[in-house]
Structure 1
Amino acid sequence: MAHRSRLAGFIIDSRSDDLDAAANFWSAALGIAIADPDSGGTGQYAEFGGAPGDLHVEVQKVEHPSRVHLDIETDDIDAEVARLEALGATRVAFVKRWWVMQAPDGQRFCVVRMREDNARAAPNAWT
């Protein structure tokens, strides 16, 4: 079955108790403004606005070591996960509404539901 996917953005995983300080650092370092310092209302995510290419960029509080990971958005999560597994990726965990996956070289990334309300380039179409 055909589906679509594309790069959604970058998530800065921060192992810190101070989300505001982490978000303020990355806002200044990247030169992009914090649009929502408490995205989702849980005190776990700070979302930036005005990122280049309309990419989604956020800082999230995590328990694992700090790192940066990317999100791939798709209109069919199961199909995209299967496509990525065929390329050598493995499933790590299903979290809320998305899959955490691992590339063959060990890098972690997430497969998330596609947002249509943005100005990003058209997604890739896969069959």
Structure 2
Amino acid sequence: MHHSRFCTLVIDCQVDDLAPAAEFWSRAFGKKIASVDQDGDGRYAELETAAEEPLILLQKVEHESRVHLDIETDDLEAEAKRLEALGAKRIAFVRERWWVMQAPTGHRFCIVRRQRETFGPHLNTWPE
């Protein structure tokens, strides 16, 4: 048995500097900026969200700007297999930390490890 849930709205930004993008989305959503440089490498910014809300992350990317979703899980491999059975395809295992997947509709999304200390509400339990 493993668990998963929708956890993050990721705004992929094809920009040189995430700070102006973070400022725009902060004001658009009415959320304070938690960090304009989450990991110290200039690739991620985060907006403040309540524990029961999905995370809102801005990611500096090379590809065209778009939005993608993250699903968090306590078992990356089991969740990837579950989603493959639904028709998704594995695209890449990034930094040995998350899977980039593609839905049958062509949309990209990621399977990531648990993002907060606890899963919180809206958790799904999946049999093996």
TM beyond 0.5: yes
Which residue identity is paired with 1:126? W
Q: Which residue of 1 aligns with 2:30?
A: 31
Q: Which residue of 2 aligns with 1:125?
A: 125
CA-atom RMSD in angstroms: 1.5
Name the structure where helix makes up a greater proportion of residues.
Answer: 1
Stretches of structure 1 that go unaligned for 5 or more consecutive residues are none
Stretches of structure 2 that go unaligned for 5 or more consecutive residues are none
CA contact (8 A) 2:90 2:100 kept: yes
| Alpha-carbon displacement from aligned partner over 1:27-81 (angstroms, at most 9, x marks no partner) | 1111111101110111110011125833111111000110000000000000000
Percent identity, aligned pairs only, is 55
TM-score by length of 1: 0.93
Bigger shift: residues 79-88 or 114-123: 114-123
Q: Which residue of 1 aligns with 2:103?
A: 103
In the alignment, the residues of structure 1 paired with residue 113 and residue 51 of structure 2 have an alpha-carbon distance, to the nearest angstrom, of: 20
Which residue identity is paired with 2:42? G
Which residue identity is paired with 1:46? A
| Alpha-carbon displacement from aligned partner over 1:66-114 (angstroms, at most 9, x marks no partner) | 0000000000000000000000000111111000000000000000001
Which residue identity is paired with 2:125? A
